[in-house]
Amino acid sequence: MSDAAEASNVTKAREQLAMALACKEAGTTFYKAKDMNKAMRKYHEGHLYTKGITSKAADSNASLTAMGGMTSSPLPEELKTEIDDTHFALLNNISAIHFNNKKYERAIKYTTEVLDQQPTNKSALLRRGKSNWGFDKLQAAETDITKYLEIDPTNKSALNIKGKIDARNKEYAKQAAGMYKGMFG
């Protein structure tokens, strides 16, 4: 690919990133104003801008024509990092709104997308753990919260959920013991 075409791709990627960042900023303004519908729309719009230019697509040399006519050429590492950071921040923000609306299954979907690429993303781990707890998926919640606490062992929110999980596990063990005692005793 010619230097001019490569420069054009970088320029287009930077433009897409600027649009995504503007959407993220607008979404955050709406979020702070507690207008969750508008925040969600802006975060989704920003996500669409980043989706076509993530480093995954650039690394695989996939065609980026869907987002402004870019062809396959590698992007500079610092630009890929900024695109990825924005992409995953938008996914985390979308999941936050779903979590706050008690749409735990959707929050799990978006946090899982983050964790597939960034397995130690603290925000995604904690939110997915809390969402799994809210969705009554005890084992999945325990896995996420335990992993989170390996990274940040003093987080009060994670410790609170871990305490609830431990209490629920003790309750289940006690119920199982009573049930088996009646069967065999």
pLDDT digits (tens, 9 = 90+) for 101-151: 999 999 999 999 999 999 999 999 999 999 999 999 999 999 999 999 999
The pTM assigned to this predicted structure is 0.82
CA nearest to 108, candidates 121, 126, 120: 126
- Answer whether residue 59 shows pLDDT above 50: no
Amino acid at 13: A
Across-strand partners of 64?
70
pLDDT of residue 39: 98
SS3 content of the chain, % helix, strand, coil (to 5): 80, 0, 20
Instruction: Work out the percent of the chain whose per-residue pLDDT is above 90.
Output: 73
pLDDT of residue 69: 43
For the chain, the average pLDDT equals: 88
